[in-house]
Amino acid sequence: MNSSIHFVEIDNRVITATYRNLMVKAKVVLVDQASGQPLPDPVTTISSPLPASQLRIRLPDSVKAGLYVLQAFNAHGDKVAQSAAFEVS
């Protein structure tokens, strides 16, 4: 099964993304593209059994301006999808 996650937009520090084929309990994290390090917050857990859906992720004030990607990990901790880079300002 090929999983995917796609950044759609960021508006008022809320990220909208779509995904396909992420299993229930998969985690989506925000990763600083420059360092490759995942941020501890926000972390979103997939709870819908639908094969395709949308996420809305509110960014805390601690997220600084820069380039980021979304990465999705299955319940075993394996990376299964990554979005294109996007800018947080």
Handedness of CA 74, 76, 80, 83 (dihedral sign): positive
pLDDT of amino acid 1: 72
CA separation for the pair 17, 87 (Å, rounded): 14
- CB-based contacts of 76, cutoff 8 Å, min separation 6: none
Q: Under a CB-based contact definition with an 8 Å cutoff, are residues 52 and 46 in contact?
A: no
d(CA 15, CA 68): 11
> pTM for the whole thing?
0.94
Taking the C-alpha atoms of residue 3 and residue 37, their distance in angstroms, rounded to an integer, is 21
**34 is in which domain, residue-wise?**
4-88
**CATH number for position 51:** 2.60.40.2840
From first to last of its 89 residues, what are the pLDDT tens digits of the chain?
A: 799 999 999 999 999 999 999 999 999 999 999 999 999 999 999 998 999 999 999 999 999 999 999 999 999 999 999 999 999 99
Count of structural domains within the chain: 1
pLDDT for the residue 37: 96
